[in-house]
Amino acid sequence: MALSSIERNAVATLLIVDDDTSARDGLRTIFETAGHKTITVRDAPEALRLLREQSCDLVMLDVELPDVDGLAFCRLVRAQPKLKQLPLVVFSADDSEGRKVEAFTAGADDYIVKPSTPGELLSRVNSHLGIAQRESELRGSNRELSFLADLGRGLLRTLYPEQVARQVAGALFEGTNAAQTACAIRNNGKSLTVCVFDREGSAGSSALINQRRLEKWLASSRSDSSLRLTNRKEFIFRNAGHQSEYVVPIGFGEKNTGALVVAFAEAADCSPSEYRMIDAAGQQAALAAQISRLYLKARESAATLAEEVDRRTAEAEMHQRFTEAIIDTLPLSLYAIDREYRIVAWNRNRELGELGLPRGLVLGRNIFEVLTKQSRELLEGEFGKVFETGEIHRVEQETITRDGETNHWLISKIPMRAGGTEQVTHVITVGENITARVRAHRAVARAEKLAAVGRLAAGVVHEINNPLATIAACAESLEKRIKEGTFGDSPDAEDLRDYLGLIRDEAFRCKSITNGLLDFSRLRAGQRVPVDMNEVIKCTARLVTHQQRGDNIRIEIEAEDDLPMVLGDVGQLQQAVIALATNAIDAMPDGGTLSLRATHVGSRVLVEVKDTGIGISPENMTKIFDP
């Protein structure tokens, strides 16, 4: 094949490794004539040194090399993470199958038998260069899509310009090769809100940028589009220890209200992929900044509050639809089926997710043959409804991880009409983890329940305190009469004194409980004093013994002699232990053993209340902390 008839790829740098000078020169002539750059070395150690110093697009090497042969060189290259994707083409005069298998096992991408025509060499090399280029572009596209998805989800949680600036600047610093990133957004038509990220962290001060120069650029016609700066005199960052800056305007409509400034330490760091991500971040920041401005205006304008809220809601819905459209089109935990229930799309996350099946094994197969862990009848009903109505179908599901944690998922089945027809031709299924949202809703419900209990407690406390005071006063009066000898030498006087002491103590404990309820309803701090937990559990044992709450109950007390004091509200602590003890007794209707134990664990005191009763039923386990 003539060299002129070969379709030439873009200029690439090829590393040729051969100890034969004439062979190296011949290969150099072939590839340079085709428009490629070449570097030649005679052995593997020199080739490895060169690969560490500069980048090459493909390595072509002879199998029979001095010292380190070509196959050992392939293994060394594949062992280095940065060189795993580098195409390796080996050539040899040995045409045996065993030698070829050894080469491919060592990591070679191709095996060319000598002698070979220039046309075959160029065709194979250009093919591998094309494959490597497409793989590189695909990795770049996945990186860009992942960056946009993460940024979009982060911006959903922002309302203020400071939050938008911090979210965008931080995402750009983490997601690109930047040395410094800055996001400046106009604060509701006033001064610029600035956030800067660099290797030392983040800063909200505008002192790190030349704000006057940035304001001048925003007011000029140059701010209509993105701009790459290489003149240090025009740099926006005050610290000019970098080679270039990329400035992107943030604007909604025809007015620019801010900018993204990204600094690159080296020219090689700023690739077209970096520019595309920064431009896309500028568009999302513009929408988020617009929503932030609408939100602030709504707060400041009380006279037009309803109108402003409606507008902000409309803008927020537009933002949500825009973000959902981006996420729905991203290859994130997504698969699609046609009307025959055949899988026509299976994204990367589905390959790496819980199912873990390669795309090649599932494409074209029936969905029910792949998702065998799910109910076919249920899945078929959901898919059929979407095909029939053309409406999105959403359902929440729960899964249990290997660690026993419950995850909540929102599964969305989205209709798709391909080819301009009105009929639904495909259904796209997207899964979203909503565990945090469900937990937040449950936390809000719990907080509302506790607030209701607090309001109820405040109403009944005052009605209880008056009779408690009367009971305590009567008990104290009878104790005083006993001390004065009113009952003489009656043998029951001592028992009466003990019972009156219990009545007085329990009345005061009830008073502490009602005060605790008031503390709960009014968020009032309790009185914390040093407390001996041994005395608390002993007092608890005496009280539950006198209550005679259960039959055949044996109480065991285990208290350490050198137990340290704890700082707390003695009434509340005793109330908690008594509540646990009485509940334990109620769980032993046929009798049993109640164990009260106080031990020293590290810097803490551990109080254990244990019974031999029937336990708590599984359906009530989630309610044990409810008021």
Q: For the segment 3-61, what is each residue's pLDDT rounded down to a tens digit?
A: 333 334 468 899 999 888 888 888 899 888 888 999 999 998 998 998 888 888 899 99
Residue 245, strand partner residues: 229, 263
Backbone dihedral angles phi then psi of residue 206, each to the nearest 5 degrees: -85, 0
pLDDT for 246 equals 92
Mean pLDDT to the nearest integer, 355-362: 76
Same domain membership, residue 406 and residue 360: yes
CA 488 distance to own-chain centroid = 77
Same domain membership, residue 469 and residue 501: yes
pLDDT for 191 equals 80
Distance CA 267, CA 118 (A): 36
Distance CA 390, CA 416 (A): 8
Distance CA 17, CA 38 (A): 11
Q: What would the two tokens of residue 271 be? A: 């690739």
Q: Which structural domain, as residue segments, surrounds residue 50?
A: 3-138
CATH code of 462's domain: 3.30.565.10
Domain membership flag for residue 144:
no
pLDDT for 1 equals 31
Same domain membership, residue 296 and residue 251: yes
Contact between residue 410 and residue 396 where contact means Cβ atoms under 8 Å apart: yes
Domain closes at, from 405, 433, 461 = 433
Burial of 323 (0-12, 13-18, 19+ CB in 10 A): buried
Mean pLDDT to the nearest integer, 423-444: 82
The lowest-confidence range among 181-185, 245-249, 357-361, 559-563 is 357-361
Number of domains in the chain: 4
Domain membership flag for residue 143:
no
Same domain membership, residue 126 and residue 29: yes
pTM equals 0.36
Q: Mean pLDDT for the chain? A: 80
Same domain membership, residue 212 and residue 176: yes
Conformational region of residue 35, where left means phi above 0, alpha means psi within -120 to 50, and beta covers everything else? left
Same domain membership, residue 289 and residue 204: yes
Domain membership flag for residue 238:
yes
**According to DSSP H, which parts of 523-586 are helical?**
533-547, 570-586
Domain membership flag for residue 572:
yes
Same domain membership, residue 406 and residue 468: no
- Give the range with max mean pLDDT: 12-26, 180-194, 197-211: 12-26
Q: How confident is the model at residue 474 (pLDDT cuts 50, 70, 90)?
A: confident
CATH code of 402's domain: 3.30.450.20
Same domain membership, residue 580 and residue 477: yes
Q: pLDDT tens-digit profile of 370-402?
A: 888 888 888 889 889 999 998 988 888 887 776
- For 374-408, letters b (16+ CB in 10 Å) and e give eeeeebeebbeebbeeeeebeeeeeeeeeeeeeeb
Q: What would the two tokens of residue 37 be? A: 């750059």
Mean pLDDT to the nearest integer, 556-564: 87
Same domain membership, residue 534 and residue 461: yes
* Nearest partner of 182 among 207, 212, 158, judged by Cα: 207
Domain closes at, from 403, 433, 463 = 433
Mean pLDDT to the nearest integer, 312-336: 66
